[in-house]
């Protein structure tokens, strides 16, 4: 973060300073275990615990300043605020304002029901070749995580890439009001978090907040393949740049599109086109669905004036999308593990199954899908898990292992869809799944793990994968 005095921070967050007007030279943290000397500790109540309980630990770690919601008894400079989350956002807004005023900062926001983290990582791979770039750790994309990312910038930062997630309408609008992105990317509108939103149309309205709030001099980067994203062009005053898997209108020379897409266990290839020019794209990342994410990142690079050839070369250096996202593991014995269990939605799970089916069929290897619950689907949960089970059968996945009560509809549907039940097994826990797999896996098997993080399959995938 920028060097700031405690009084400046108090003014930015609308709080009252108690104690010395110290200079802050370290980072801003909400976890006392991450505090470094000279930093700021935000003591905030959370779902599991209360940050005020850890002020002593933050002081011991070297915190120069504490921001808190109630009186601090310890002898440390502190700022009292009515609400820590609001104060965190206000401080992030002030830091962005100062860096913009004194430098060449460009803020890029990325939203969508799927693909945000992969696209963010692709943008990092491209942009860090052209200037200091700050991106979220993991998938920090909410009212706490996004400001924490914003607060990592300093005077030298050239690009700030933000994931913008939402649980309800208004979440993305609040994040854009803090960061004011010049470029907004919308990847897809799907059923991720549908249980919280109440339906896909509400999801579409929430994602529209990204482009609705862009300035006139901004750029909206939109997926032409998704009809709900296409409709967002009417909601923005910014210039629209498109990407997709079909040629755009002849009078749109900026439209980026791809064809000749193929994916193997060695990676994914495609041909990228813009106007009359074409470039080969070679990704180490598994899965044809990642081509759209690559196109989104390339469209941003193109809009920023970065040569596409250089941007495509940067994408080719990425070894994986993210830990737990179509991550290839080779534990030995001729077995291949694909760990895609960091998160799951109906769209991403279907794409992962298609990738598994395609890659194993090409390689002549046995396909095994270990599937857990897709969380936060609300009233759509049974229907979408049922749909996934039927799809696994129609894709001719050789072996299906379904884990946990929340995912049992996958197994039930697969059993009904297939003419016999030997291809699918239901187990209640990840431990039972591990025992089953260790007894069955043989050389040549390719095992996909796909679920939301709450299922614990990411840890199982890493154990089976030898990490």
Report the C-alpha gap between 442 and 282 in whole angstroms: 30
pLDDT digits (tens, 9 = 90+) for 28-70: 999 999 999 999 999 998 877 899 999 999 999 999 999 999 9
Q: Does residue 392 lie within any of the structural domains?
A: yes
Strands (E), 252-294: 256-264, 267-274, 277-283
User: What mean pLDDT do residues 260-272 have?
Assistant: 95
| DSSP β-bridge partners for residue 248 | none
Q: Is a pLDDT exceeding 70 seen at residue 419?
A: no
Q: Does residue 123 lie within any of the structural domains?
A: yes
Q: Is a pLDDT exceeding 70 seen at residue 422?
A: no
Same domain, 338 and 432: yes
Report the C-alpha gap between 351 and 336 in whole angstroms: 18
pLDDT (0 to 100) of residue 49? 83
Same domain, 162 and 224: yes
Same domain, 125 and 260: yes
Q: Does residue 86 lie within any of the structural domains?
A: no
Q: Does residue 320 lie within any of the structural domains?
A: no
- DSSP for residue 322: B
Task: Give the SS3 label for residue 27.
Answer: coil
Task: Give the SS3 label for residue 277.
Answer: strand
- DSSP for residue 318: -
Contacts of residue 415, Cβ cutoff 8 Å, sequence gap at least 6: 389, 421, 424
Same domain, 300 and 352: no
Same domain, 338 and 452: yes
CATH value at residue 255: 3.40.1190.10
Contacts of residue 406, Cβ cutoff 8 Å, sequence gap at least 6: 372, 373, 375, 381, 385, 455
Give the pTM: 0.89
Decide the pairing of beta strands 106-111 and 159-163. parallel
pLDDT (0 to 100) of residue 467? 63
Same domain, 393 and 446: yes
Same domain, 280 and 416: no
Which residue has 């897709």 as its token pair? Answer: 374
Q: What is the DSSP string of 105-117?
A: -EEEEEE-SS-HH
Same domain, 112 and 47: no
Report the C-alpha gap between 367 and 352 in whole angstroms: 12
Q: Does residue 112 lie within any of the structural domains?
A: yes
What tokens does 47 get? 């779902």
pLDDT (0 to 100) of residue 86? 96
Binding residues: 112-118
Strands (E), 130-181: 133-134, 159-163
Print the domain residue range for 264: 103-315
Q: Which of 315, 344, 367 is the last residue of a domain?
A: 315
pLDDT (0 to 100) of residue 324? 81
Handedness of CA 266, 271, 272, 277 (dihedral sign): positive
Output the CA–CA distances (angstroms, integers) from residue 114 to 2, 194, 205, 301, 364, in the order listed. Answer: 32, 12, 16, 20, 29
Same domain, 388 and 299: no
pLDDT digits (tens, 9 = 90+) for 6-18: 999 999 999 999 9
Q: Does residue 321 lie within any of the structural domains?
A: no
Same domain, 294 and 424: no
Contacts of residue 272, Cβ cutoff 8 Å, sequence gap at least 6: 256, 257, 258, 278, 279, 280, 281, 294, 295, 298, 308, 312
Report the C-alpha gap between 443 and 168 in whole angstroms: 46
pLDDT digits (tens, 9 = 90+) for 166-184: 878 899 999 999 999 999 9
- DSSP for residue 233: G
Q: Does residue 98 lie within any of the structural domains?
A: no
Binding residues for ATP: 112-118
pLDDT digits (tens, 9 = 90+) for 438-458: 999 999 999 999 999 888 899
Count up the domains in the chain and report the number. 3
What tokens does 409 get? 């509809």
Decide the pairing of beta strands 23-24 and 4-5. antiparallel
CATH value at residue 457: 3.90.190.20
pLDDT (0 to 100) of residue 201? 85
Q: Does residue 180 lie within any of the structural domains?
A: yes
pLDDT (0 to 100) of residue 198? 60
Picking from 378, 357, 355, the residue whose alpha carbon sits closest to that of residue 366 is 357
Q: Which of 315, 345, 360 is the last residue of a domain?
A: 315
Q: pLDDT grade, residue 139 (50/70/90)?
A: low
Same domain, 37 and 120: no
pLDDT (0 to 100) of residue 216? 96
pLDDT (0 to 100) of residue 194? 52
Same domain, 367 and 390: yes
pLDDT (0 to 100) of residue 191? 64
- DSSP for residue 53: G
CATH value at residue 47: 3.40.1390.10
pLDDT (0 to 100) of residue 252? 86
């Amino acid at each position: 973060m920028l060097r700031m005095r405690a009084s400046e921070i108090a003014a930015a967050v609308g709080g009252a300073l108690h104690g010395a007007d110290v200079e802050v030279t370290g980072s801003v943290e909400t976890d006392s275990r991450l505090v470094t000397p000279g930093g700021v500790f935000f003591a905030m109540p959370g779902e599991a615990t209360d940050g005020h309980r850890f002020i002593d630990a933050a002081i011991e770690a070297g915190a120069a300043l504490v921001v808190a919601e109630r009186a601090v008894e310890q002898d440390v400079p502190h700022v009292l605020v009515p609400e820590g989350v609001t104060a965190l956002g206000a401080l992030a807004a002030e830091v962005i304002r100062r860096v913009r005023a004194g430098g060449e900062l460009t803020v890029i926001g990325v939203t969508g029901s799927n693909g945000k983290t992969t696209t963010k990582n692709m943008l990092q791979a491209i942009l860090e070749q052209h200037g200091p770039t700050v991106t979220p750790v993991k998938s920090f994309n909410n009212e706490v995580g996004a400001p924490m990312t914003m607060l990592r910038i300093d005077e030298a930062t050239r690009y700030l890439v933000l994931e913008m997630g939402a649980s309800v309408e208004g979440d993305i609008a609040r994040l854009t009001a803090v960061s004011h992105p010049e470029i907004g990317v919308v990847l897809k509108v799907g059923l991720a978090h549908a249980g919280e939103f109440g339906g896909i149309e509400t999801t579409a309205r929430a994602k529209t907040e990204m482009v609705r709030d862009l300035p006139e001099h901004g750029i909206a980067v939109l997926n032409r393949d998704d009809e709900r994203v296409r409709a967002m062009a009417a909601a923005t005053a910014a210039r629209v740049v498109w990407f997709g898997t079909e040629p755009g209108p002849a009078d749109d020379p900026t439209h980026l599109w791809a064809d000749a897409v193929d994916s193997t266990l060695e990676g994914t290839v495609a041909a990228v086109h813009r106007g009359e020019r074409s470039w080969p794209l070679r990704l180490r990342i598994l899965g044809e669905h990642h081509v759209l994410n690559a196109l989104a990142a390339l469209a941003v690079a193109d809009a920023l004036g970065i040569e596409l050839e250089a941007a495509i070369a940067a994408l080719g250096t990425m070894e994986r999308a993210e830990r737990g996202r179509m991550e290839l593991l080779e534990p030995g014995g001729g077995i291949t593990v694909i760990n895609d269990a960091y998160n799951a939605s109906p769209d991403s799970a279907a794409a992962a199954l298609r990738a598994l089916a395609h890659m194993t069929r090409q390689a002549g290897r046995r396909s095994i899908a270990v599937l857990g619950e897709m969380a936060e689907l609300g009233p759509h949960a049974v229907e979408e898990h049922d749909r996934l089970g039927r799809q696994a059968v129609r894709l001719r996945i050789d072996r299906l292992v379904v884990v946990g009560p929340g995912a049992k509809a996958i197994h039930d549907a697969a059993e009904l869809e297939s003419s016999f039940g030997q291809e699918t097994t239901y187990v209640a826990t990840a431990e039972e799944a591990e025992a089953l797999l260790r007894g069955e896996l043989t050389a040549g098997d390719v095992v996909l793990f796909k679920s939301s993080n709450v299922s614990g399959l990411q840890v199982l995938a890493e154990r089976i994968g030898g990490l």
